[in-house]
Amino acid sequence: MPGSILSEAEKSRAAAFRSCTARRLFVAGRVLCRSILANRLGCAPQALCLAITPSGRPYLRDYPDIDFNLSHTKDRVALAICRGGSIGIDIERLDAFSEQEASEIMPMILSEQELNQVDQLDERHRRDVFLAYWVQKEAALKCFGQGFLANPQSVILTSENATNGSKAQVLGEAIFIHSGRISDGESRGFQWAIATSNATARPQWQHHKSGIFF
């Protein structure tokens, strides 16, 4: 059973979820983390000590040189791993927002300059560009260790094209971003962004046998 590799604390936390979907995604995320990280480190999944930061971010207590981050979207969990730096990931379905929802949320996420740029676009493209901004900003803030607990308007994207993010400034700190789209052949696809504290090569996506991207 997948849950057999979880710690007692993780089992208790999973049991506390009222939503079956939230519980399933939490378990899937922890199983994915333990399985992939243990494989990379050459140990048993149960042997890993996953601690939690005050902001709720899991980390490897015994491997401070390895950072990882998770993102959930509906029925998918994404895991990003790096060594020697910090990493953040966000993945969202392309239909995560309706056009109306995107219009209502934009002023809370985008800076005035970004909002003006989006407003100049054809209505058909505004939601897609906003989603690209969204995942880049969230990935950058998660790399910085805060996620949307911090103000997303504080993330200054320096790329000319939001769908191909390359760099961001978060409270004066440089964050490097890769962004794009991926499809699993079963849905319309996903918009993703991975942010790192160090410049890295474009990430290589793999599809886990359980149907989860990482």
Same domain, 150 and 94: yes
In a domain, residue 55? The reply is yes
Say if residue 38 is in the same domain as residue 96: no
Instruction: For residues 133 and 118, give the distance between their C-alpha atoms in angstroms, rounded to a whole number.
Output: 10
* Confidence at residue 153, expressed as pLDDT on a 0 to 100 scale: 87
Which one is predicted more confidently, 170 or 81?
81
Q: Which residue has the higher pLDDT, 162 or 188?
A: 188
pLDDT band at 193 (very low <50, low <70, confident <90, very high): very high
Q: Which domain holds residue 177?
A: 89-196
**CA dihedral angle for residue 128, residue 132, residue 135, residue 137, rounded to 10 degrees:** -130
Task: Please give, one letter per residue, the 3-state secondary structure of the chain.
Answer: CHHHHCCHHHHHHHHHCCCHHHHHHHHHHHHHHHHHHHHHHCCCHHHCCEEECCCCCEEECCCCCEEEEEEEECCEEEEEEEECCCEEEEEEECCCCCHHHHHHHHHHHCCHHHHHHHHCCCHHHHHHHHHHHHHHHHHHHHHCCCHHHCCHHHEEECCCCHHHCCEEEECCEEEEEEEEEECCCCCCCEEEEEEECCCCCCCCCCECCCCCEC
Confidence at residue 192, expressed as pLDDT on a 0 to 100 scale: 92
What three-state secondary structure class fits 207?
Answer: strand
- Grouping H, G, I as helix, E, B as strand and the rest as coil, residue 122 is coil
Query: Once rounded to an integer, what is the mean pLDDT over residues 1-9?
Result: 78
Identify each DSSP E strand in 74-117 by its residue range: 76-83, 87-93
CATH code (residue 26): 3.90.470.20
State pTM to two decimals: 0.86
Q: For 98-155, what is each residue's pLDDT tens digit?
A: 889 999 999 999 999 899 999 999 888 899 999 999 999 999 999 988 776 678 888 8
Q: Give the chain's domain count.
A: 2
Domain match, 103 and 151 both? yes
Position 165 scores a pLDDT of 46
Residues 58 and 154 in one domain: no
Residue 211: predicted pLDDT: 44
The answer to whether residue 180 is domain-embedded is: yes
- Confirm if 10 and 28 have CB atoms less than 8 A apart: no
Q: pLDDT digits over 32-43, tens only?
A: 999 999 999 999
**Structure confidence at residue 207 as a pLDDT band (50, 70, 90):** low
Give pLDDT, residue 73. Answer: 83
Residue 76 domain-assigned (yes or no):
no
